[in-house]
Amino acid sequence: MTASRPVGVPRLYLVAARAAFAADLDWLDAIERVAAHAAAHRDLPIALQIRIETPDGAGRRAAAAIERARRAGAGLAVFLNADGLDAGSLGYDGVHWAERCIPEAPSCVFPGAASVHSVAALRRAEAAGARFAAFGPVWSPSWKPGPARGLEDLAQVVREAQIPVLAIGGVTPERVAECLHAGAAGVAVVSGVFHDRAPAAALARYAAVLAAG
């Protein structure tokens, strides 16, 4: 199945992780609010990733999330990161593979992206037809535990990559320039926008640094 709209490589990838919220309603409200703010930045390539970590109710949650995102974010590309769900049939524009879910065979018909933590995983993502990859955590994430891999590892993965690489994990607006200097094509964020009390202002700060870089 082909995407419902052209999907390019985002410079800002907004990751709406269900596990980062206490309840479904909080998560869905945040998706709608952030998607509306993101749609206003038409001069910056932005995409939204809906991330659902547990299989319980995943289909229902994925359907509700895309409805909220579409309602607010006209023209915003939306990727689905959820094991076992068909992103295309649910109305998503692309699929995002967790590292453990990167397919062994090429899967190039529907736009794909992948999370990677090493050059070996990057190679698997490239072979599967991923259009871009998110590497990290560069810094320790604020919404979940995880060791930082650092800017040197990011730069190494970028040097080895044949596809654009985004930096993820603890990326604040103040750290964006360091990621770009290491060669990242852009950044992916969770709490930097979704947990900010003023998400529109947070988006503007990220957009300003990315535009300058």
- What percent of the chain is modeled with pLDDT above 70? 96
Write the pLDDT tens digit of every residue in 107-135.
Answer: 666 889 999 999 999 999 999 999 999 99
Write the pLDDT tens digit of every residue in 24-77.
Answer: 999 999 999 999 999 999 899 999 999 999 999 999 999 999 999 999 998 899
Q: Is cis: bond before 137, omega within 30 of 0?
A: yes
Give the model's pLDDT for residue 146. Answer: 77
User: Is the separation of the CB atoms in 164 and 185 below 8 Å?
Assistant: yes
Domain ranges of the chain: 12-212
pTM (2 d.p.): 0.95
User: Is the separation of the CB atoms in 128 and 103 below 8 Å?
Assistant: yes
Residue 142's pLDDT band (cuts 50, 70, 90): confident
Distance CA(185)–CA(194), nearest Å, equals 21
Write the pLDDT tens digit of every residue in 194-207.
Answer: 999 999 999 999 99
Distance CA(143)–CA(161), nearest Å, equals 28
φ, ψ at 115 (rounded to 5°): -90, 135
Which CATH code for domain 12-212? 3.20.20.70
Element (H, E) at 127: helix 119-128
Distance CA(166)–CA(178), nearest Å, equals 12
| Per-residue pLDDT at 6 exceeds 60 | no
Q: How many CB atoms neighbour CB 51 within 10 A? A: 20
